[in-house]
């Protein structure tokens, strides 16, 4: 079984648990995801089945879009709403909208981030959250990410009872960005503790929320003998030039042979046989050589 499943991940589930559940539903072991979502985050989680697992890295490279909420006045251990409070500073008055917008603008472009201590980033072969749970000191690596757009979705809300301010936002960013950390960085610029209090991934790996299937959708389709949720592999490469192989060329490709295709000038080619994606070849001077083989793809 081969294909791509744009899943709607519900809150309360880990990405790994979603993979495990789909393996059980499809009776297919070879399934992977294209970018972890924290348990408290819902939204787009693209899963790759069978031969599609070879395309995971390509899907992960795409930009992502989120909608969420930052709460100013409180910081937590995990940088989101699930952690323990480690800093609390009641706001005497709300920040002006223009001040918040200016701070968000400072966080737009290429920025450095230090991943949260409670995250799956590996240091010396161990996840950061393992160090955190054992209360062991660890030096967290800094990574460089790109924030393409970071804006408010509505006027910020000030809660006079808690003396906290919430900001509903949208952010478009590169892979590897921690939105939790971005929320903390916004608080740092405003000189107040902050955390990410809600988050939804609305776009990732080339798919939007409207294109996703819930587990209920998948279970219903399977009960009806349908698999509309399982999309063909070429959904991962919609912009790549296509080339239909002749029977002789198909024999060469099956043996990993290079091809001479003088009329083709694209840097990469998606090779099809009988209209089914079978390989991705890369151009080297006057010939195309294998880059990714998908010979067992059947759809």
Pair 166, 159: CB distance under 8 Å: yes
CB neighbour class for 30 (10 Å; exposed up to 12, middle 13-18, buried from 19): middle
CATH class of 239-293: mainly beta
Second CATH level (architecture) for the domain 3-62+206-234: 2-Layer Sandwich (3.30)
The Cα 55–Cα 150 span in angstroms is: 29
Tens of pLDDT, residues 90-135? 999 999 999 999 999 999 999 999 888 777 778 888 887 888 788 8
**Cα–Cα distance for residue pair 45/213, rounded to 1 Å:** 10
Residues 6 or more apart whose CB falls under 8 angstroms from that of 191 comprise none
Same fold: 3-62+206-234 with 64-197: yes
38 is catalytic: yes
User: Can you tell me the distance from the alpha carbon of 46 to that of 63, in angstroms, rounded to the nearest whole number?
Assistant: 13
Domain ranges of the chain: 3-62+206-234, 64-197, 239-293
The pLDDT, as a whole number, for residue 114 is 86
Residue 154 has pLDDT above 80, yes or no: yes
In this predicted structure, the answer to whether residue 203 has a pLDDT above a threshold of 80 is: yes
- Per-residue pLDDT tens digits for 12-54: 999 999 999 999 999 999 999 998 898 999 999 999 999 999 9
- The CATH class that applies to domain 64-197 reads alpha beta
């Amino acid at each position: 079984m081969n294909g791509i499943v744009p899943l709607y991940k519900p809150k309360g589930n880990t990405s790994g648990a979603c993979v495990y559940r789909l393996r059980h539903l499809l009776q297919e072991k070879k399934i992977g995801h294209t970018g972890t979502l924290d348990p408290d985050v819902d939204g787009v989680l693209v899963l790759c089945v069978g031969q599609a697992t070879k395309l995971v890295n390509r899907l992960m490279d795409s930009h992502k879009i989120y909608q969420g909420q930052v709460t100013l006045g409180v910081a937590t251990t995990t940088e989101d709403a699930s952690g323990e409070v480690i800093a609390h500073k009641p706001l005497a008055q709300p920040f002006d909208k223009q001040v918040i917008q200016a701070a968000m603008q400072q966080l737009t472009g290429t920025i450095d981030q230090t991943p949260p201590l409670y995250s799956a980033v590996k240091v010396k072969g161990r996840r950061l959250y393992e160090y955190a749970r054992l209360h062991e000191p660890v030096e967290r690596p800094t990574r460089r990410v790109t924030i393409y757009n970071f804006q408010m979705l509505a006027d910020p809300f000030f809660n006079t009872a808690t003396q906290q301010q919430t900001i509903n936002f949208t952010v478009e960013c590169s892979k590897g960005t921690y939105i939790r950390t971005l929320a903390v960085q916004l608080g740092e610029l405003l000189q107040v503790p902050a955390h990410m209090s809600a988050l939804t991934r609305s776009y990732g790996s080339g798919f939007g929320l409207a294109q996703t299937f819930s587990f209920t959708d998948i279970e219903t389709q399977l009960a009806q003998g349908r698999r509309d949720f399982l999309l063909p592999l070429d959904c991962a490469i919609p912009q790549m030039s296509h080339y239909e192989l002749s029977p002789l060329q198909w024999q060469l490709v099956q043996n990993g042979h290079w091809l001479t295709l003088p009329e083709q000038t694209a840097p990469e080619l998606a090779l099809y046989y009988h209209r089914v994606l079978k390989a991705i070849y890369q151009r080297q001077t006057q010939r195309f050589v294998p880059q990714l083989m998908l010979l067992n793809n059947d759809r």
